[in-house]
Amino acid sequence: MNVPMPIPGHIDPVPVPRDPVVRADGRRDLLGRSKDELRGLLAEAGLDPKQAKLRAKQLWHWIYNRGATDFGVMTDISKTMHPWLAEHFVIGRPDVVEGQVSSDGTRKWLLRSPDGHDYEMVFIPDADRGTLCVSSQVGCTLTCTFCHTGTMRLVRNLTAGEIVGQVMLARDALGEWPSQPEGRLLTNIVMMGMGEPLYNFDNVRDALKLVMDGDGLALSKRRITLSTSGVVPMMARAGEEIGVNLAVSLHGVTKEVRDELVPLNKKYGIEELLAACAAYPGANNARRITFEYVMLKGRNDSDEDARELVRLLRKHKLPAKVNLIPFNPWPGAAYECSDPDRIRSFSNIIFEGGISAPVRTPRGRDIDAACGQLKTAAEKKSRAQKDREAAEKALAGV
């Protein structure tokens, strides 16, 4: 039984009512289902238990290991059964509204859910790896002041199918089926797209279980990182039930500054957060916790801040590395990025304190794909539309 998440005051997720998405043709989508769920669906559609179990196993393999979207290719399932499957089911993918490629090779996809919500995923190729940045929610309820996603009004949790669907879509685009252990372009996953993954715990867990299954998408938990802004009550469960690498958006070392930047800090303060990090199952010197720290000019980037950061991480004996993120600007943001010299000095102090503190190279800034820049075109449009309407009203003297 899952214990419901405690309600964190005014920054609680706003549930957006959502009818279960039923396809117009009545067929059920198999994307994102576990073996047990597949078995249940097959039984519901009329297969006897033994058949349902066998077919579920076969379907699961075709879906997650081979990337099949068409029942016709499933050679170990008798041909006579293919039309029956196609009559009852589909194997879907998120709808792609738009794809963009940055001058640095970063790719961003704007995706749309069947009920008309937009979300984004980003693929960041490097010489030795390829990282997919996956969204967990449409928008985010947490209103961190330096993050564009936090200004979105629309919020809903993505389903497990929509989360794992991002990975499968990327595999389609990269031509990486069937799953292979070697020579992949997509090697790493970061839950760092839109949304707070620990506010959508069950769906994120179920999706990542499919991603990590060795017979399916087969990405090791060591190559997956979940980033949280600090939802303390869910961190232990994340370690136990998902077990991926943890990244924590710290961004400030005093209550005053972190309260401003990450309002969730008013609910779960720095000490409590670091204690939860120290207790994170699976964290050790070989698997360090990443502390993300956005560099904001004159707000959180002094030498004193850097020294305090070292003190805090040492005090809690954390197997830590610090990731310094140059602030990525967006229209209307109230912050500026720290100067390169300031960032270097900040980084040096942390290194001297015995903690690694590389500076993250911004990727995909020209297509608004960098950290904190994700905000869907549809939302931007609706804002633009609103502005136009306001201007028209003003002109009309209303």
Catalytic site positions: 120, 371
Contact 317, 311 (CB under 8 A): no
* 268 is a contact residue toward ligand SAH (CB under 6 A): no
Q: How many binding residues for ligand SF4 (CB under 6 A)?
A: 11
Nearest-angstrom CA–CA distance, 312 and 348:
17
- For ligand SAH, the binding residue among 328, 338, 347, 376 (CB under 6 A) is 328
Nearest-angstrom CA–CA distance, 63 and 69:
7
- Which among 242, 366, 257, 241 has a CA at the least distance from the CA of 304? 257
The contacts of residue 282 (CB under 8 Å, 6+ apart) are 239, 243
- One DSSP character per residue, 157-190 reads EPPHHHHHHHHHHHHHHHT--S--SSS-S--EEE
Subset of residues 235 to 294 that bind ligand SF4, contact rule: CB under 6 A: 249
* 196 is a contact residue toward ligand SF4 (CB under 6 A): yes
Nearest-angstrom CA–CA distance, 208 and 77:
27
* 379 is a contact residue toward ligand SF4 (CB under 6 A): no
Residue 44: C-alpha distances to residues 27, 69, 88 (Å): 12, 21, 10
Maximum Cα–Cα distance across the chain: 71
Task: Using the minimum distance from each CB to ligand SAH, give the nearer residue, 159 or 227.
Answer: 227
Subset of residues 146 to 175 that bind ligand SF4, contact rule: CB under 6 A: 147, 149-150
Task: Using the minimum distance from each CB to ligand SF4, give the nearer residue, 196 or 206.
Answer: 196
* 196 is a contact residue toward ligand SAH (CB under 6 A): yes
Residue 192 interacts with which of ligand SAH, ligand SF4, none, CB < 5 to 8 Å by class: ligand SAH
* 106 is a contact residue toward ligand SAH (CB under 6 A): no
* 229 is a contact residue toward ligand SF4 (CB under 6 A): yes
Min dist CB 147 to ligand SAH, Å, is 3
Nearest-angstrom CA–CA distance, 367 and 100:
7
Min dist CB 172 to ligand SF4, Å, is 26
To the nearest 5 percent, what fractions of the chain are helix, strand and coil?
A: 40, 15, 45
* 301 is a contact residue toward ligand SAH (CB under 6 A): no
Subset of residues 359 to 378 that bind ligand SAH, contact rule: CB under 6 A: 371-372
* 244 is a contact residue toward ligand SAH (CB under 6 A): no
Pick the piece of the chain touching ligand SAH (CB under 6 A) from 48-56, 206-214, 226-234, 237-245. 226-234
* 8 is a contact residue toward ligand SF4 (CB under 6 A): no
Nearest-angstrom CA–CA distance, 329 and 294:
11
* 327 is a contact residue toward ligand SAH (CB under 6 A): yes
Subset of residues 105 to 144 that bind ligand SF4, contact rule: CB under 6 A: 140, 142-144
